[in-house]
Structure 1
Amino acid sequence: MTIDVRMLTVGPLQENAYLLRRAGDDRALLIDPGDEADRLLTVLDELGVRLEAILLTHTHFDHVGAVAPVARATGAPVYVPEIEKPILADINSYVRFPGFGPFEDWDAEQTVAGGERLALAGLDIDVIFTPGHSPGHVSYVVDGEEAMFSGDVLFQGSVGRTDLPGADWPTLAASIQRLLDTLPDETRVHPGHMGLTTLGRERATNPFLAELAQP
C-alpha cells in the first residue's frame, strides 16, 4: 500500500496540516487543520475525496483554528487527545498571545489517549502518547508505511517548545526517546512546522537529541 500525503502549510505561524489517504482512494483524513479552512476544503473538492475524520495531535490554536469550519462543512468526526478535549471546546480561553483569533469552539466527537489503533479511510493508525509540548499530545503512525505525524514533538533539527503552560523538557525528552526506541530510523516524520525529516536523520544530527544519547 502506498499513501498519498499532501502537506498544506497554513496560517501566520506556518503550521503544517496534512491530508492523508491511500493512493487513489476517495476517502481521506486531515491532521491538524490549523487555519485557512476555505483552502483546505478547496483541496478536498479538487481531489474529489470525502473526509472521513479529522485527527488532532494537540490543541494549541495554530493546530486547531480550522477544525470547526472544516468539521461542519464535511461532517467528519474530530479525534482529540482526551485530556485536551475541554480546550478545543473553549479554545479562545487558551489563546494567550495577542493578535490571534477569535476561533470557533468544537466539541470533539472522539477522544484518544495513546495505545489505540484506529481503522480509518482504509488505513490502520497507531496512536502514541507523546506529551511534553502539551499535556495530552499524541502522535499518529500509519501502520506498514513508516510514516509518523508528530505534531510539535519533533522537528527537523529541533523539538517542540517547553516554555508553554503544561509543557516541560523531561517529559518531552521521554516521549522522543520512546519514539526512537520503538520506531525504525526510516520512519518519515511529518512535523507540525518546518520540513519533512526521518527519525534516523534526527537521531544523527538533531542537537536536542544528542542530550538523549548521553549515558
Structure 2
Amino acid sequence: MSYTGTVTPGGPEDVRELERVTIRKLAVSDMHNNVYLLTSRGTGDQLLIDAADDPDRIMALVATGGDGLGTVVTTHQHWDHVRALREVVARTGARTVAGHEDADALPVPVDVPVGQGDRITFGDVDLDVIHLRGHTPGSIALALRDVDGMVHLFTGDSLVPGGVGATSHPGQDFGSLIEDVTTRVFDVYGDDTWFYPGHGDDSTLGAERPHLQEWRERGW
C-alpha cells in the first residue's frame, strides 16, 4: 500500500519505505499529535520523534519496527508533545535529544542537547538538526536525506501545512519563526522536500512555498 501520511488517533500507523529508512507515522491523543518512528533498514536501530502520548501504543509501534529503541528526539517543549516521554524512556532506556533552549523544560533529563548544524546519528543514518526559533526557544526540525537525494523534514510545530507554528503566546515570536523557516528551510531545500509535521497531514515545500509572502503579511 502506498504512503499517504494521513493518520487518525486510534487508527493504524502509516508506513513509508525509503532506501535506507522505514518511516512509521502514528497519531495519538485528542490533539492529533503525530509520532514518528524511524528504523534503519541496514542496522535495525530505531529513533522516535516526539513521544507525545499513549505510551502503550508507542511501545507497540516500536515493537513493529524492530528490537528496541535507541533514541527519542523531542522537537519542542510543549506539553502535548512530551506526555509519554518519561514512560517511554523508562521502558526503553533510550537516550534523549532536544534543542538546547528547551532541554530544561522537559520531564526527563536531556542526554544530548542540540542546536543549528548539529547531527544526530542512529545506526547508519544521519539527521541534520535545524533550529527554528519562535514557536518555542529551542524548537528543532530534523532533515533526513535519502540516497536518491530527496530530503525528508520532521518539523514539529514550527512548520505545518498552511503556515508556521503558533506565535501568539508569551515568549513566542512570529518574526523570528518566519525568518528561520524561510532562511533555514525554504532557502536551503528544494520543492520536492517532503515534511512531516507535529499535527495533521504531511506536505511538501513546493506546495507551501508560494504562500510564504502571504504568511508574512498576515503575521501568523
TM over 0.5: yes
Aligned counterparts, 1:162-173, within 5 A: 162-173=167-178
Contact preservation (8 Å) 1:125, 1:142: yes
Structure 1 unaligned residues grouped into runs of 5+: 89-104
**Partner Cα distance (2:152, 2:28) in 1:** 21
Partner of 2:130: 128
Partner of 2:198: 192
Question: Quick one: which of 189, 194, 203 aligns to 1:183?
Answer: 189
What is the CA-CA distance between 1:47 and the residue it aligns to? Answer: 3.1
Is the counterpart of residue 157 in structure 1 residue 159 in structure 2? no
What letter is aligned with 1:11? S
Provide Cα deviations, 1:66-92, integer angstroms capped at 9, x if missing partner.
Answer: 11111111110000111111111xxxx
Partner of 2:208: 202
Question: Quick one: which of 105, 113, 116 aligns to 1:114?
Answer: 116
Provide Cα deviations, 1:169-209, integer angstroms capped at 9, x if missing partner.
Answer: 101110110210011111110000110101111113x4x55
Partner of 1:12: 30
What is the CA-CA distance between 1:150 and the residue it aligns to? Answer: 0.4
Q: Name the SS of the counterpart of 2:171 in structure 1.
A: coil
Cα-Cα RMSD: 1.7
**Partner Cα distance (2:123, 2:78) in 1:** 25
Contact preservation (8 Å) 1:177, 1:212: no
Contact preservation (8 Å) 1:186, 1:200: yes
**Partner Cα distance (2:79, 2:49) in 1:** 14
Structure 2 unaligned residues grouped into runs of 5+: 1-18
Aligned counterparts, 1:1-80, within 5 A: 1-23=19-41, 25-80=43-98
What is the CA-CA distance between 1:20 and the residue it aligns to? Answer: 0.9
What letter is aligned with 1:29? L
Q: Taking structure 1 as the reference length, what is the TM-score of the superposition?
A: 0.85
Percent identity over the alignment?
32
What is the CA-CA distance between 1:156 and the residue it aligns to? Answer: 1.3
**Partner Cα distance (1:60, 1:35) in 2:** 12
Aligned length: 195
Contact preservation (8 Å) 1:81, 1:113: yes
**Partner Cα distance (1:201, 1:86) in 2:** 35
Q: Taking structure 2 as the reference length, what is the TM-score of the superposition?
A: 0.83
